[in-house]
Amino acid sequence: MSNIEITKNILTARFDAINPDSIDEYISHNGYSALKKSLLKTGEEIINDIKTSNLRGRGGAAFPTGIKMEAVLKAYGSPKYIICNADEGEPGNFKDRYLMEKDPHQIIEGIIICAYATDIKHGYIFIRGEYINAINIMRKALEQARVKGYLGDNILDSGYSFDIEIYTGAGSYVCGEEFALLVTIEGKPGRSTYKPPFPTTSGLYNKPTQINNVETFCNIPHIINMGGEEFSKIGTSSSTGTKLISLSGNIISPGLYEVELGTSIRDIINKLGNGIPNNRKIKMVQIGGASGPIIPENMLDIKLDTKEMKKLDLCFGSGAIIVMDDRIDVLDILKRITEFFHHESCGKCTPCREGLTQMLILLDRFTDGIATTNDLALLEILMETMNQASICGLGQAAPIATQKVLEYFREEFTNKICSTDS
Amino acid sequence: MLVKEALDKYGKTPDKLIGAMLAYQKSTLCNYLTEEDIKEFAKETKIPESRIYSIASFYSLLSMKERGKYIVMVCYDVPCYINGSVNVVNELEKILEIKMGQTTTDKLFTIEYSSCLGCCDKAPALQIGATLYGNLTPEKISSILSTYRGKKDE
C-alpha cells in the first residue's frame, strides 16, 4: 500500500460543482444511481458489500459499519430506527457542516440505502441547533427527495417505504454521544446511560436503532457504485477509503481536505496546509478534536491508520487536526479543553462531573506555581478513574489530551512543581 | 407567539417539545423562557413541570435569564483561542460596554461564549442568528454590530 494519494476527492467530488439546493444537479452528477442499484438487491447483499468495503464509522469510534448494520438487521423488535448523527460539536471539526451545506443529497441517499438494507421505515437526521444554514439546506433537500419519489411511500415503485425527519438539537456537546442523542429525541435532557445494551438492540424508545455519522453515510453510495471490493483497495488494509480532515490552528491554509487513509499527518500539514505561518515551529498537534490526543512535532510522521495509531494508543477520531506553534502554552490549552468538558458534562455520573471540577482545581495549582509532587500523582489517578469509570465517552475521553501531554511533554508539568511532598 | 401556538405548530408529544420551546423562545422579545412559560408548557403538554424545567436549564440554546434581541455567540474553543478570540471578546466588551454573559441596556445584544461553532477554518469566529462571521479581528467587530442596529424585524 505505498501509493497513497494525499488528496482523493470522493465524498467532496461534487463540492462546488453542483448547487446544493438542486436535486437535479445532484442527479446529473450520478446522484441517486446507487439507490436505484440497491433497490434491486437484498438487504443482505448490500450489507455484505459494505462489510467487504471494510468501512469504519467516521464519527470517531471507527466501528465497522457493516457489522453494525448486520446487528440491527438481526435485532428483535419493531419498529426499528435509523439516525444520522449530525450533532457535530467536537472542537476543531467542521466536516459534517460542509457535507450538509455542499452536498446534502449524498447524505440522504446513504441513509435511504442503509435503511432499505436493514428494513427500517423511519429515520432522523439529528442536527445541532447552531447549524441553522445546514438545517435549512437539509430540510429543502428532504422535500425535493420526497417530490422525486426517493423518500415516502413505495420508493421508486420498489414497494419499500421510508421517510426521514429532521431533529434539531438545542446546544449540547454530549448529545453527539449515542444515548444522550437518543434521550434528547425522546424529549429529555441529554444524559447518557450505561452500555450494553447498545443502540443496535435497544436504542430509540428501546427499539433497535442504527446510528451513524454524516460522513459514514456519505460513503455508502460510493461503496454501492464502485463495489465493496474496489472501495477496500483505497487506503490501507486496516483503514479503507478516504477521510475528511478539518485542519485548523496555526496553519497557513486551514480548511477541509479529503485525504486517502494512510496519509501522514506531516504531509497534511505541509502539503495541504502549506505549513506554519510567521516562520514559527510546530510545538504540538491535537488530533481528533478536544477529546483527542496531543502529540509532539517529532511524531507527525504517523499515518492515519487505525492499526498503526493504536500501537501508540492513539486514534484519528473524527479527523480534526489542530496545529499549535511554539508560542502556545501547553497548560493554558489544557485548561481551556478541560473547561470545555466541564461545561459540557451532563452531570449524571460522579467521575465525570466531579472529576472535571477537580481536574480544573489541580491544573490551576500548576499554572499558579503552587503544585506539589502529590498534586501530579493525584491528577494522574483522577484521570485514570475518569477513563475507567465514567459512563459515557465524554468523561472517558475528557482527560486524554492532558494524559498525552503528561506522556509526551511531562516536563511542562514537572517544571511547575514548587515543592516535593514528604 | 403563545406557548399554545408553538405546541400546536410543533406537536405536543415529548419528542416535539424541545423544538417547540426553541421556536417559542425565539418569538419572545428577550430570547428567554419565564417561569410562567415553563408552567404553561407543562399544562399544555401534561409533561411534568420539573422535566420542562430540566430541559430549559440543560440546553445552552435555551435560557431562563432575560437576554437581548441578538445573541452574539463567540466560540470559546482552542482553534479560535489560538487565533485570537480573546481580542475579539475584549473588543465586544468594550464596544457594547458589558461583560461576557451580559445584555446591553437597550436589550439589543447579549454576548455569550459558545462551544465550537464548526468554523475553525475561519477562526476566530462568532455567530449571530444564522450568520457566521469568521476570520475576525477587533477592527471588524464594530461594523458587524452596526448591521444589527436599527435593523427592522425579520
Tell me the per-residue pLDDT of B13-32, one tens digit each, with 9 for 90 and over.
Answer: 999 999 999 999 999 989 99
Give the sign of the dihedral formed by CA B26, CA B29, CA B31, CA B32. negative
The stretch A281-304 carries a mean pLDDT of: 97
Using one digit for the tens of pLDDT, what is the confidence trace for A98-127? Answer: 999 999 999 999 999 999 999 999 999 999
pLDDT at B56 over 50: yes
CB contact under 8 Å between B76 and A96, yes or no, is no
> Other C-beta atoms within 10 Å of A194: how many?
9
Handedness of CA A148, A150, A156, A159 (dihedral sign): negative
List, edge to edge, every strand of the sheet that includes A294-296: A255-260, A242-249, A320-325, A282-287, A294-296
In degrees to the nearest 10, what's the CA dihedral of B42, B47, B52, B54?
150
Banded model confidence at residue A183, pLDDT cuts 50, 70, 90: very high
Cβ partners under 8 Å of residue A4, min gap 6: A235, A236, A260, A261, A262, A263, A303
Nearest to B117 among A130, A136, A340 (CB): A130
Whether the bond between B14 and the residue before it is cis, its omega within 30 degrees of 0, is no
Question: Helices B138-148 and B85-96, interaxial angle, to 10°?
Answer: 50
Touching check for A94 and chain B: CB below 8 Å? yes
The 10 Å Cβ neighbour count of residue A78 is 10
Q: What cell numbers appear for B73 in the block?
A: 455567540
Q: Tell whether B77 and B141 lie within a shared domain.
A: yes
CATH 3.10.20.600 fits A242-325, yes or no: yes
Q: Are residues B7 and B52 in the same domain?
A: yes
User: Hey, is the C-beta of A307 within 8 angstroms of any chain B C-beta?
Assistant: no
Look up residue B108 and give its three cell numbers: 439589543
Pair (B75, B131) in one structural domain: yes
Is pLDDT of A416 > 50? yes
Angstrom distance (rounded) from CA A169 to CA A173: 10
Under CATH, what is the fold of the domain A330-419? de novo design (two linked rop proteins) (1.20.1440)
Residue A1, pLDDT score = 44
Looking at the fold, whether B41 and B94 belong to one and the same domain comes out as no
Find the mean pLDDT for residues A129-133.
95
Q: How many domains does chain B have?
A: 2
- B32 and B80 in a single domain? The answer is no
Q: What is the mean pLDDT of residues B36-64?
A: 96
Closest chain B residue to A131 measured between Cα atoms? B130
Contacts of B59 in chain A (CB under 8 A): 129, 169-172, 189-190
pLDDT of A41: 97
Which cell numbers in the block locate residue A68?
453494525
Cα–Cα distance for residue pair B92/B3, rounded to 1 Å: 33
All residues at 6 or more sequence positions from B148 whose CB lies less than 8 Å from its CB, including other chains: B70, B108, B109, B128
| B126/A contact by beta carbon, under 8 A | no
Q: What is the mean pLDDT of chain B?
A: 95
A60 against B152, higher pLDDT: A60
Spatial strand order of the sheet with A209-213 comes to A163-168, A122-127, A81-86, A209-213
B127 & B74 share domain:
yes
The structural architecture, per CATH, of the domain A23-231 is: 3-Layer(aba) Sandwich (3.40)
Render A203-240 in DSSP notation, one character per residue.
-GGGS-EEEEEHHHHHHHHHHHHH-HHHHTTSB-SSSB
Assess contact for A302 and A262: CB atoms under 8 A. Answer: no
Distance separating alpha carbons of residues A301 and A307, to the nearest angstrom: 15
Q: Which three cell numbers stand for residue A65?
A: 459499519
Asked if residue B133 is part of any domain, the answer here is yes
Query: Mutate which of A191, A248, A276, A321 to test chain B, going by most B C-beta atoms within 10 A?
Result: A248
* pLDDT at A422 (0 to 100): 52
Q: Are residues B33 and B79 in the same domain?
A: no
Query: How many Cα atoms occupy the beta-carbon half-sphere of B130 within 13 Å?
Result: 8
The last residue of one of the domains, among B37, B58, B79, is B58
Q: How would you label A226-256 residue by residue, b for 16+ Cβ within 10 Å and e otherwise?
A: bebeebbebbbebbbbbbbbbbbbbbeebbb
- Give the residue range(s) of CATH 1.20.1440.230 domains in chain A: 330-419
Query: Is B83 in the same domain as B133?
Result: yes
**Residue B65 located in a structural domain:** no
In the 3-class helix/strand/coil scheme, how is chain B assigned residue by residue? CCHHHHHHHHCCCHHHHHHHHHHHHHHCCCCCCCHHHHHHHHHHHCCCHHHHHHHHHHCCCCCCCCCCCEEEEEECCHHHHCCCHHHHHHHHHHHHCCCCCCECCCCCEEEEEECCCCCHHHCCCEEECCEEECCCCHHHHHHHHHHHCCCCCC
Co-location of B48 and B103 in the same domain: no
Query: Looking at residues B112-138, what average pLDDT do you find?
Result: 96
Structural domain of B20: 3-58
pLDDT digits (tens, 9 = 90+) for B81-94: 999 999 999 999 99
* Mean pLDDT score across all residues of chain A: 96
Same domain, B36 and B81: no
pLDDT tens track for A65-96: 999 999 999 999 999 999 999 999 999 999 99
The residue whose grid cell reads 434539531 is A168
- Grid cell 438539537 is found at A169
The candidate with the shortest Cα–Cα distance to A176, out of A150, A211, A136, A151, is: A211
Residue B153, domain member (yes or no): no
Report CB contact under 8 Å: B15, A187.
Answer: yes
| Helix, strand, or coil (residue A70) | helix
The CATH number of residue B85's host domain is 3.40.30.10
Contact by Cβ (8 Å): A280, A326? yes
Rounded Cα distance, B151 and B154, in Å: 8
Secondary structure of residue A295 in the 3-state scheme: strand
Within-domain flag for B18: yes
Residues B10 and B54 reside in one and the same domain: yes
- % residues pLDDT > 90 (chain A): 96
For the segment A372-379, the average pLDDT, to the nearest whole number, is 96
Does a structural domain hold residue B154? no
Asked, for residue B134, whether it belongs to a domain, the answer is yes
Residue A237 pLDDT: 94
Residue B76 maps to a domain: yes
The Cα–Cα gap between A256 and A246 comes to: 5
H or E element: which one contains A24?
Answer: helix A23-28
Residue of B121, B122, B135 to mutate for A, most A C-beta atoms under 10 A: B121
| Beta carbons within 10 angstroms of residue B52's beta carbon | 22
pLDDT, tens digit (0-9, with 9 covering 90-100), for A338-361? 999 999 999 999 999 999 999 999
Domain match, B26 and B49 both: yes
Report the b/e string of A205-217 with b at 16+ CB within 10 A: eebbbbbbbbbbb
Picking from A131, A290, A322, the nearest residue to B118 by CB comes out as A131
- Average the pLDDT over B124-139 and give the result: 96
- Is A89–B115 a contact, with Cβ atoms under 8 angstroms apart? yes
**What confidence tens digit (pLDDT) does each residue in A318-340 have?**
999 999 999 999 999 999 999 99
Question: What does the pLDDT read at residue B151?
Answer: 74
Interface test with B, best of A130, A174, A323, A346 (most B CBs within 10 A): A130
Residues of chain A with CATH 3.10.20.600: 242-325
pLDDT digits (tens, 9 = 90+) for B134-153: 999 999 999 999 999 977 65
